Amino acid sequence: MLKLFVCLIAGALFGAGLALAGMTNPVRVQDFLDILGHWDPTLAFVMGSAVLVSLAAFAWVPKMRKPWLTGRFFLPSAVVVDRKLLLGAGIFGVGWGLTGYCPGPAIASMLSGNSEVWLFVPAMLLGGWLDRTFNPRHK
């Protein structure tokens, strides 16, 4: 139960941070990507803050004997940049640039009144389901 509560608090904190920083507004994200037009650097500061927190966590985690709420650490192990990674990143980038949404801000935007997010989130969930269903690495 504690694990679920911590997940709830972390998700609420993440969503509140995205909303407070204006990242639930897809136009703000698109303006960040428009480097030759009306460029908005806000997203760079949000990403930079996330990188700093992640760097601190990745420096701290190896010093811990075990995690607090689970039996083992789930750290990234992939070190190869392959065709699938580049293709997936490209598809993600095109979708992000066209819509201004990536998964976190899209979910945080569900109650914002932006009707297009109600189309984006189910399509995103369908993509995740298709990957889990048809990708052999998940079998």
| pLDDT score of 68 | 86
Q: Which residues of the chain fall short of a pLDDT of 70? A: 138-139
| pLDDT score of 51 | 95
Nearest residue to 29 (alpha-carbon basis) of 91, 93, 86: 93
The structural domain count of the chain equals 1
Amino acid of residue 136: P
Domain range for 105 is 2-138
| pLDDT score of 56 | 94
Joined tokens for residue 114:
């932006």
Whether this prediction's pTM lies above 0.75 is answered by: no
| pLDDT score of 100 | 87
